[in-house]
Amino acid sequence: MRTTLPEGLVNLADHEAFARSVLSAQADAYFNGGAADELTLRENVLAWQRIALLPRVLQPLAGAHTRVELLGRTLAHPILIAPMAYQRLAHPHGEMATALAAAVLGAGLVLSTQASTPLEDVARLVLAESARGPLWFQLYLQADRGFTRELVQRAEAAEYEALVLTVDAPVNGARDRERRAGFTLPPGISAVNLRGLREPDPVVLRPGQSALFDDLMTHAPSWDDVAWLRSITRLPVLLKGITHPADARLAVSAGAAGLIVSNHGGRTLDTVPATAMLLPAVAQVVGGAVPLLVDGGIRRGTDVLKAIGLGAAAVMVGRPILHGLTNAGAIGVAHVLRLLRDELELAMALTGCSSLVGASEALAKPMSSP
């Protein structure tokens, strides 16, 4: 079990390379793979890289800070950990190590419905840390809505502060890399918070019927379920997986407390544009009515600055957290978070940004001649 930081890791790409050299082929395929030809997976990273920054010099920067406001709280910085299933595949301490690092570093934590650790254990650990960021629970609506309601009640009782309803994955994408590697969960790792869930009996299909459309999709979440979810919980409900501006508008009308612009890290539908490309149009239609978050391909502090500049209130980071976790448990996750925050501060200092409110000023815009 790795608990000390390997030498020589100075950025998130180093963490990724090290993690991929030690992960089993199956876990590597699950964590690092995407859907189909993985175009969206790659574009997510490249699109942030292609956005240029244009510095202002000689700005007053003493006392500058990375603080942001999110759902009525002031956060030390705008970095949250995206919900990711089965973290005990990366490290025996799994979600507990991720949660500890997040809490100590003031990063928000979104726990997956498919976590491999009881949601109550994670909450207890996070809530004990005074410097912690927000603690949210990601919800996959289950076919059994009664079970889903009980899961929501457990999250409320454990003092999660918001629900993040994932809306972009009514079914898994074409995970070619996973299937090639023959990915299955090893014994001892499971979605422990779904224990006791009874899957619906499969429909007996007539010839010509589709297992997807005539069975699985009959339980898929809909806009009515968003209203239902809001009616059974006192927690704010954010929607994760919004990419189309028209859906962003619907989500605001449906009472979403926030939106997460996400293509699921390129793991669901391939060839969806990178989130860096989608964010501006969503920000335009939402017009500040609710906070926007964005995830997908964020690997540098400069990416965080660009995301805020394009209209996000905060960002979520996925795979790099799993890399840190693989490499050194809680210490590795803390290192990834610290690197990202340090890089963000550096990017702000070098673009002349004293607070993230002014992040859009750091983006290079087409220049007209004087």
Cα 76 from Cα 69, distance rounded (Å) = 9
What is the closest distance, in whole angstroms, from the C-beta atom of residue 147 to ligand FMN in the complex?
A: 17
The nearer residue to ligand FMN, 244 or 349, going by C-beta atoms, is: 244
Question: Out of ligand COI, ligand FMN, none, which partner does residue 31 contact, by CB within 5 to 8 A per kind?
Answer: ligand FMN
Taking Cα atoms as reference points, which of 107, 95, 55 lies closest to residue 339? 107
Chain residues in the site for ligand FMN (CB under 6 A):
30-31, 44, 82-85, 112, 114, 138, 166, 240, 262, 264-265, 267, 295-298, 317-319
Q: Residue 33 touches which of ligand FMN, ligand COI, none (CB < 5 to 8 A by kind)? A: none
**Residue 237 Cβ, how far from ligand COI at the closest point, in Å?**
18
Closer of 66 and 113 to ligand FMN (Cβ): 113
- CB under 8 Å to 108, separation ≥6 — which residues? 70, 75, 79, 80, 81, 102, 133, 134, 135, 136, 314, 316
For ligand COI, which is the closer residue by CB, 34 or 309? 34
How many other CB atoms sit within 10 Å of the CB of residue 368? 5
Catalytic residue from among 15, 93, 264, 323: 264
What character string, x for contact with ligand COI (CB under 6 A) and - otherwise, covers 56-95?
-----------------------------x----------
Q: Which of 82, 148, 75 is nearest to 296 (CA)?
A: 82
Contact 148, 225 (CB under 8 A): no
Give least dist CB 244 to ligand FMN, A: 16
> Which helix H or strand E contains 309, and what residues bound it?
helix 301-309
The reply to whether 264 belongs to the active site is yes
- Nearest approach in angstroms of CB 314 to ligand COI is 20
Q: Which is nearer to ligand FMN, 165 or 352 (CB)?
A: 165
> What angle in degrees, to the nearest 10, is found between the helix axes of 12-22 and 319-351?
170
Residue with Cβ nearer ligand COI (267 or 306): 267
- For residue 297, the minimal CB distance to ligand COI (Å) is 15
Instruction: Look up residue 77 and give its two tokens.
Output: 């910085």
What is the sign of the dihedral through the CA atoms of 261, 266, 271 and 273? positive
* Separation between Cα atoms, residue 138 and residue 151, nearest integer Å: 11
Q: Is 369 exposed, middle or buried (0-12, 13-18, 19+ CB in 10 A)?
A: exposed
Q: How far is the CB of 136 from ligand FMN (least distance, A)?
A: 11
* Partner whose footprint covers residue 351, from ligand FMN, ligand COI, none (CB < 5 to 8 Å by kind): none
CA 8 vs CA 13, 24, 251, 294: distances in Å: 11, 22, 44, 29
Question: Which of residues 114, 262, 275, 327 is near ligand COI by CB under 6 A?
Answer: 114
Sketch the per residue contact string, 317 through 346, with ligand COI: x for CB under 6 A, - otherwise.
------------------------------
Name the residue with the smallest CB distance to ligand FMN.
318
Q: State the binding partner of 240 from ligand FMN, ligand COI, none, CB within 5 to 8 A by kind.
A: ligand FMN
Give the residue nearest to ligand COI (CB): 85
Question: Distance (Å, rounded) from C-alpha 368 to C-alpha 370?
Answer: 6
* Structure token pair of residue 267: 């793991």
Rounded distance between C-alpha atoms, residue 274 and residue 41, angstroms: 8
Residue 297 binds which of ligand FMN, ligand COI, none (CB < 5-8 A, kind-dependent): ligand FMN
Q: How far is the CB of 267 from ligand COI (least distance, A)?
A: 4
Q: If DSSP codes are grouped into helix, strand and coil, which group holds residue 365?
A: coil
Is 169 near ligand COI (CB under 6 A)?
yes
Burial class (CB in 10 A: 0-12, 13-18, 19+), 309: buried
Closer residue to ligand COI, CB minimum distance, 89 or 101: 89
Asked if residue 352 lies in contact with residue 304, where contact means CB atoms within 8 angstroms, the answer is no
Q: Is 165 helix (H, G, I), strand (E, B) or coil?
A: strand
The DSSP code for 244 is S
What does the binding site for ligand COI look like in residue numbers (CB under 6 A)? 85, 114, 169, 172, 264, 267
Catalytic sites, residue numbers: 264
